[in-house]
Structure 1
């Protein structure tokens, strides 16, 4: 097994196409064609984590957070980022980061938080814009069924709980091939008219290379006419944050104490209590102040996130309780989830859970 094989498994869980634009995900250090002899999974890649990989004979580190976030102009070991990269390169250890790709996956970070709290009826808090595209192409009517079915098999035409979705209409296509053409139907140098079917199908954007490849392979024409458009529609299964519900409402104080214990938070900061039971909960692992408005609009009684600033707590107003459980604490279960996922996909060697606590925040 090579590194790219591992990346392919992770891409099935959380396609990198859905990572946020500001992020730096994917293979950050190493050769994708290098053979893998061991995988260490961590939340952050620190020097101590690289040492742990060396000790366990792991030459691939799968990290939630990217160690390289901004551009590196020098590698002289002047800070922890440069020292990590230098040590990884010296020891032939690759580093892969998944970060906001997993944040935006339905079975990702926020689903893990919901599962820790046994929340039901999970759904995305902020669906990601631009995640759905549409293909429209034109094919001889005699070939429409075979092409349409090939596109369906490649993953096109899936909408919510439905598949094999398309829109089709018939018309007349014309073309005139020059002396270098080799038309499938008609004769070069002569204007040809053909009964054609226009086929429109939607697909998730990470499937575009596969959809286009299938189209070009299955379409009978020498030159294939097609259009790809980004839609404003959102995919209910792709986006950041998540909503869920408790089986039974809880008293606010009891709920907050339970959450603090569940996530082993050294400190749990919260906004003014609302004197009403907690039933509907919004969650967003990591820094989530940008989603306070969405959490309020969703009708949630409580929003669990981290890295809230002083003035963020005012924005709760009288609509919601905000709970800051800590950045590390909100994402801590992610690495165990990734170990379990990869262990089911890869059985030729052990997937090792890092024992290093990378939380930089300490509590008295």
Structure 2
């Protein structure tokens, strides 16, 4: 069955919702062309000339990147520059570009979780759990249709409270309405006030699922005009499985020096910088892909013995020593290079079209052999 780009992105956003991104971010479409048939997908950490050449050589019209092409509004575009020329080639070849940045970092598929799993930590949780933003949905339903509407909302609305799901409350009463000219009432007659036995159904919905839940509710609700209200809940809901970074425990601890050797063997990084006593016993590990040492306080509060991230500054290194937490710094690239492979594996069976990984990742770092 043919798949359009908009259908592929819809499936992708069900897995990696845009609502997970930070306010300052620009995840989502960078170059948008949603009504084209999807020919193939290329996953890449960044947009580069080699990445674009690879997409063109395979006649693929969708590139999924981690880093957005645009972070700020453009005032002009220089097509003679390297970046401008790449954009020009993308547009001329009708290639759509979609980016998953901080929303991917907060998803259950993140590089942080990939790295902590690769270290051998089987059970992990977000270092900074995302708080669910909840809304209360109240909808009025005629007698005989409550179960149908409730079942749909249970399926699409994710009405969970703590460790309980399928939570709702039903109040019964009488509703009144007067169909006006041009209406097509399910109950009653035009220009006559009618009364109907109705139920008011109330439940909680995670903000991410509102659009889909309302859309599906409208398909099964018998009324032409559905009476419903959405109220934001004052406090955010409980923690969700999503969130920034990852934290977990080794089944058996190891010396810090052993962990450093383990990271060198598993990840082959460009470099490893560290702070802390190499003879310290490490049990709890925090990982934040990308520039994540701003979350050092959260790592300390979590009881982590070490935090692994990139772009360590002098003041953060001093803070780590004062806080008593060990630090491992890798290059930004080395903590995010796994994006392409993760997304490829995630989508290969999901889309039914070829999905390939950019094997020419744009690594700006080089090893200097002494």
Normalising by structure 2, what TM-score? 0.87
Q: Tell me how far apart the structure 2 counterparts of residues 207 and 299 of structure 1 sit (CA, whole Å).
A: 33
Give the 5 Å matches for 1:1-364: 1-77=3-79, 79-158=81-160, 162-163=164-165, 165-177=166-178, 179-180=180-181, 184-185=186-187, 194-231=196-233, 232-273=236-277, 276-316=280-320, 317-349=322-354, 351-364=355-368
Structure 1 residue 22 displacement after superposition = 1.6
Structure 1 residue 353 displacement after superposition = 1.7
User: Unaligned stretches of 5+ in structure 2?
Assistant: none
Contact conserved, 1:9 with 1:342, CA < 8 A, in 2? no
Normalising by structure 1, what TM-score? 0.89
Contact conserved, 1:156 with 1:201, CA < 8 A, in 2? no
Q: Tell me how far apart the structure 1 counterparts of residues 268 and 68 of structure 2 sit (CA, whole Å).
A: 24
Contact conserved, 2:61 with 2:96, CA < 8 A, in 1? yes
Q: Tell me how far apart the structure 1 counterparts of residues 179 and 142 of structure 2 sit (CA, whole Å).
A: 20
Relative distance call for 1:131 and 1:176 in structure 2 (3 A) is closer
User: Unaligned stretches of 5+ in structure 1?
Assistant: none
SS in 1 for 2:308: strand
**Aligned alpha-carbon RMSD (Å):** 2.6
Contact conserved, 2:162 with 2:238, CA < 8 A, in 1? no
Tell me the number of residue pairs that the alignment of Structure 1 and Structure 2 aligns. Answer: 362
SS in 1 for 2:241: coil
Deviates more, 1:112-121 or 1:315-324: 315-324
Q: Tell me how far apart the structure 1 counterparts of residues 337 and 262 of structure 2 sit (CA, whole Å).
A: 17
Cα-to-partner distance string for 1:8-45 (whole Å, 9 max, x where unaligned): 33223212222222222222114112223332221111
Q: Tell me how far apart the structure 2 counterparts of residues 242 and 173 of structure 1 sit (CA, whole Å).
A: 51
Deviates more, 1:293-302 or 1:170-179: 170-179
Structure 1 residue 328 displacement after superposition = 0.8
Structure 1 residue 139 displacement after superposition = 2.6
SS in 2 for 1:154: helix
Relative distance call for 1:148 and 1:330 in structure 2 (3 A) is same
SS in 2 for 1:128: strand
Structure 1 residue 318 displacement after superposition = 3.2
